[in-house]
Amino acid sequence: MRSIRSAATRLIFGAPVTSRHAKKGNLPKRRALPLFGADGFSSVAYAPDEILLTLLLAGHGALAYSPLVGLGIALILLIVVGAYRYNIHHVGERGDFALVHQNLGITAAIVLGAALMVDFMLTVSVSLSSAAQYLESITPVLLGHQRLIACSLIGLVTFICLRGLKVMLRVSHLPSYVFLVLLAATVVCGLIADATGQLGRAVSADYTVLVPDGATEVLTTQLGVGLLLVRAFASGSVALTGVNTVSNAVKAFAPPRQRNAATSLMVIGGLSALSLLGVLYLARQTGVVSVLDPAQGLLVKGQPVGEDFHQVPVLLQITDAIFGLPLASVLLGAATIGVLIVAAMTAFTGFPMLATTIAAKQYLPVHLSARSSASLYANGVLALGVSSMLLVAIVGPNVHALVQMYIVGVFTAMTLTQYAVLRNRWRAQRITLDTKKRRTLWRDIGISAIGTGASVTVLVVVILTKFTHGAWFTVLLIFLLTWLMIKTNKHYSAIDRQLALSAEPDQLAADRALPSRVHALIYVERVRKPVLRALAYARASRPSSIEALVVNVDEARTRENIDTWEALELPVDLTVLDSPYRNPSASVLDYVQHMRQKSPRDVLVVYLPEYVVPHWWQGIFHRRTVHKLKARLRHEPGVVVASVPWQIDR
């Protein structure tokens, strides 16, 4: 059984690694960029959809504003990227949690940790739900099974990540690069076709969008247009996700780590901004339509599309309009699925590292910092996989609904990080006298202030416009996680206080004092070899007294035990305990408690003889009286439980 269990563990978690080998994580830029940039690249798969979904609430005419919204998002993205590039040089390998803890205190750091954990969970849920949507689009036979597909993908990615960072690196870079090449080719071909007047129209361009009464009047006033653009901006700001991924993974880069990470972040930000702008422009030119509820909001040739209608993602609609070949959509769709899977992997890289950092501060269970194999802290990987799968199973693989929850956690973390850097630089300039250094610090303060202002602006807009659309769930989840982490720390602190050595000499002397006497009790089920071994061990320890206990649950068995004991002429008294309810554990426990009350300063050592069967399934055929008794005695003060195993031969 042990060999089977070991083989299964090795299959799932990978081969064990030494601590020195586990710390090696020097990734060159060509490897790190596709892994940590996939979160940002993959947002092109669903961010344009979110923008169009919002704009089309006011009808077809609102699509003219989509490039403007994209331009605003790209501008904010570049501002935040610039601020984070500075953060990387300042923070180094410590990560956002350590930075916020140092500059804003532990409470803010806990809130940041909760926001990042929610961010990681929703990264997995959004990415793989979107991947399921793309898989349905290029494989019509799978239509109607998006929830099952999304949950299966989460399980697959969890398994891959349990195998460790090396396995992830083998499968991560190729999908990202293929996606970038195919996306660039699509956008460039689309722009050329548009410039030459050969760009086709999307199939959905001829669909009729049903809007609520008076919705189109929004476009007739500046206030209405402004509110619509703000709401669309809030929806599309999901494109900014992934910026903080690189800053939290600096130690994974090859030296010089900070420079390589900052360069990678700049490339990721630039490519993400250009991709978003290109897709939104082509979406407007091809007339792509994407609505929140097609069954209620779309007409094809004057007829409702029906409940079974599948809305193809914007990116694939554009591809079909540009090339007019199903193969092109299939290739880009497959590449998009690949990069979305890699984006989920980045969360499985970051979540365990974050959980380990927080667990080291005793704000999360210490199990999350356990690392015994090649995996990135298996417990953290499993926790993220299970929570993401539960979210998708309960809420559903609705990308739009998940995105509303996603954005809040991202910008909460960004805001706290930017403010922590700003506060650090502000404190530094107050104690710096050198003019040149002060000038540099004021420049840093300006950069951090711009980044903080951008993050706060987006966060406020998102909460105001998306709170009732799902953002409330993220706010509640961050609050609950923060509360749980505080409670966890209080639990560990209370235990530490009780276990710590006393500073008082009298109390320390009392803790070191020997017990007045030690009494040995041997539990006897049947007088056989394990009992004799336990008796020998007890006598060898030379206690003040030794006593054997047998519980009378069967008269014949009890008489047999007494006769055997007397025949062996053992130099230890055998005490028979009555058990009217045939509960040996309760009878022994009552006797132990009675002895403790008589002599509270004495120590009782209870020897429990037990036999160990060679196969796990053989344990099903045996009573677990000793295990139950052991579990109950562990909670009794002044009682030591000594297990005496007897191994059964195969």
SS3 189: helix
Contact 642, 607 (CB under 8 A): yes
> Which residues are paired to 612 by β-bridges?
647
370's enclosing H/E stretch is: none
* Rounded mean pLDDT, 293-299: 77
Q: Could you tell me the strand order of the sheet in which 639-647 lies?
A: 573-578, 545-552, 518-524, 603-612, 639-647
In this predicted model, what pLDDT tens digit does every residue of 246-279 receive, in sequence order?
Answer: 777 777 787 888 888 888 888 888 898 999 999 9
Q: What single string gives the DSSP state of each residue in 494-541?
A: HHHHHHSPPSSHHHHHHHHPPPS-EEEEEEESSSSHHHHHHHHHHHHT
SS3 645: strand
Q: What single string gives the DSSP state of each residue in 278-317?
A: HHHHHHHHHT----S-HHHHEEETTEE--TT-----HHHH
The pLDDT value recorded for residue 530 is 92
Stronger pLDDT, 452 or 575, i.e. the higher one: 575
* Range with the poorest average pLDDT among 25-34, 63-72, 135-144, 398-407: 25-34
Residues ≥6 apart with Cβ < 8 Å to 147: 132, 392, 393, 396, 397
3-state secondary structure 99-126: HHHHHHCHHHHHHHHHHHHHHHHHHHHH
Spacing of C-alpha 518 from chain mean position? 49
What percent of the chain has a predicted confidence (pLDDT) above 90?
Answer: 34
> Which residues are paired to 575 by β-bridges?
549
Report CA-CA distances (Å) from 464 to 76, 84, 140, 410, 460: 18, 25, 38, 16, 6
> Is it the case that residue 2 has pLDDT exceeding 80?
no
Q: Omega into 255 within 30° of 0, i.e. cis?
A: no
Distance CA 46, CA 51 (A): 9
For residue 246, give the nearest of 103, 453, 87 by alpha carbon.
Answer: 87
In this predicted model, what pLDDT tens digit does every residue of 620-629 receive, in sequence order?
Answer: 777 788 889 9
- Vertex 285, ends 283 and 287: CA angle to 5°? 65
Helices (H) and strands (E) in the chain, counts: 24, 8
Q: What is the pTM of this model?
A: 0.83
* Range with the poorest average pLDDT among 101-115, 129-143, 536-550, 618-632: 618-632
Contact 335, 175 (CB under 8 A): yes
**CB-based burial, 184-198: b 16+ in 10 Å, e otherwise:** ebbbebbbebeeeee
Contact 479, 473 (CB under 8 A): no
- The residues spanned by each domain of the chain are 26-487, 514-647
Token code pair at residue 521:
């009790």
CA dihedral sign of residues 148, 153, 158, 160:
positive
Same fold, 26-487 and 514-647: no
Q: In the chain, what is the greatest distance between 2 CA atoms, to the nearest angstrom?
A: 108
Classify domain 26-487 at the CATH superfamily level: Amino acid/polyamine transporter I (1.20.1740.10)
Instruction: Give the pLDDT band of residue 224 (cuts 50, 70, 90).
Output: low
The pLDDT value recorded for residue 90 is 64
What are the respective helix, strand and coil percentages of the chain, to the nearest 5? 70, 10, 20
> Is it the case that residue 409 has pLDDT exceeding 80?
yes
Distance CA 449, CA 452 (A): 5
CATH number assigned to the domain covering 514-647: 3.40.50
In this predicted model, what pLDDT tens digit does every residue of 156-191 receive, in sequence order?
Answer: 999 888 876 566 666 677 899 999 999 999 999 999
The pLDDT value recorded for residue 507 is 78
The pLDDT value recorded for residue 371 is 58
- Amino acid in position 355: A
Token code pair at residue 447:
């950069």
Token code pair at residue 382:
């499993």
> Is it the case that residue 421 has pLDDT exceeding 90?
no
* Rounded mean pLDDT, 85-94: 69
SS3 208: strand
